């Protein structure tokens, strides 16, 4: 169950929200709470009330994600308050989406204490609120912070580099862009766990698309299988590079990293202001988005 809201809402709202989250947890649900924190100029009293609710939520929610709106105004003086609020609200949405994408992904890559292990749908059959790799990642008491980034490259570059190399480059650049989000300011080096979701255009897995090997070094009767394996290899390579990049950016206390690919459906929205849509968008541009949910244990805060 996901509970989204403001940590400084209407009077009387905080106790009701706490009661709801506590009730859901007692009923056996995994409860993730994502709250926005007010702007600094809204006053010390409102900030104190917001921080009190956030602290209380830590005691009852499995996962507590905080979106601090004030960092946006510090990062860009040109942002208006409505624009900053819209970005914060969108970040709340992507917090939920990222967790759901990871839960529904055909397979995920988990990095734990330096070991890389792929997990498939077999673990989804367990009758638990979360399957083991996600359980260990999301149930550690603490705060979560969401950052998003995007990388794009001309499709023509694939003719020289090939799809695996191109996707891997985009994956690394997108992870680094997400890590530089204002919401993740100085959070990566102190992270204890990270969930990374890569959003890639579905067309990269389409055997009829332009993203295919320029030459097939196999007999014609085997071309279909080779093409499919080539794309799967390219996708897995991108996920592994993303995991390595997260591992590099995170500090030594980061024990759990989960990376999952999410193929973008045609027409789905991307980052605001992106120059190309995720379904391939412009025929000349291939883009990859990254969402990083950075978790920090309470004892490290």
Domain that holds residue 68: 1-104
Q: How far apart are CA 28 and CA 128, in angstroms?
A: 9
Rounded to whole angstroms, how far apart are CA atoms 279 and 237? 20
Average pLDDT over residues 251-255: 86
Same domain, 21 and 79: yes
**pLDDT tens-digit map of 33-71:** 888 888 878 888 888 888 888 888 888 888 888 888 888
Q: What is the pTM of this model?
A: 0.81
Domain boundary among 104, 123, 138: 104
Residues 132 and 280 in one domain: yes
Distance CA 6, CA 14 (A): 9
Whether 288 has a pLDDT exceeding 90, the answer reads yes
Specify the 3-state DSSP secondary structure of 193. strand
Contact 268, 278 (CB under 8 A): yes
Strands (E), 57-182: 63-68, 108-112, 115-119, 142-154
Across the range 233-239, mean pLDDT stands at 92
Q: Are residues 187 and 219 in the same domain?
A: yes
Note whether 67 and 133 are same-domain residues.
no
- 116: tokens are 């890389």
- Higher per-residue pLDDT: 15 or 219: 15
Please give the average per-residue pLDDT across 239-246, as a whole number. 95
Question: Do both 152 and 209 map to the same domain?
Answer: yes
The answer to whether 139 touches 131, Cβ cutoff 8 Å, is no
């Amino acid at each position: 169950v996901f509970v989204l809201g403001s940590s400084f809402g209407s009077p009387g709202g905080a106790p009701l929200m706490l009661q709801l989250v506590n009730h859901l947890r007692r009923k056996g649900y995994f409860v993730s709470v994502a709250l926005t924190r007010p702007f600094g100029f809204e006053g010390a009293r409102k900030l104190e009330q917001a921080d009190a609710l956030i602290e209380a939520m830590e005691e009852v929610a499995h996962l507590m994600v905080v979106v601090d709106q004030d960092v946006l105004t510090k990062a860009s003086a040109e942002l208006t308050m409505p624009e900053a609020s819209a970005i914060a609200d969108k970040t709340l949405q992507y917090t939920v989406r990222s967790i759901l994408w990871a839960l529904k992904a055909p397979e995920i890559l988990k990095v734990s204490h330096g070991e890389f292990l792929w997990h498939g749908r077999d673990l989804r059959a367990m009758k638990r609120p979360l399957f083991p790799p996600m359980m260990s990642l999301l149930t550690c008491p603490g705060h979560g912070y969401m950052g998003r980034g995007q990388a794009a490259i001309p499709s023509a570059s694939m003719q020289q580099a090939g799809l695996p190399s191109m996707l891997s480059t985009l994956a690394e650049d997108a992870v680094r862009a997400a890590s530089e989000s204002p919401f993740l300011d100085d959070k990566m080096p102190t992270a204890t766990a990270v969930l990374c979701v890569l959003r890639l255009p579905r067309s990269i897995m389409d055997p009829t698309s332009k993203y295919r090997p320029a030459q097939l070094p196999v007999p014609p009767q085997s071309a279909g299988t080779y093409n499919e394996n080539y794309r799967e290899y390219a996708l897995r390579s991108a996920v592994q590079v993303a995991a390595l990049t997260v591992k590099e950016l995170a500090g030594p206390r980061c024990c759990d990293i989960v990376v999952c690919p999410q193929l973008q459906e045609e027409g789905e929205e991307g980052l605001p202001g992106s120059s190309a849509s995720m379904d391939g968008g412009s025929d000349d541009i291939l883009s990859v988005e990254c969402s990083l949910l950075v978790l920090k244990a309470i004892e490290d805060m």
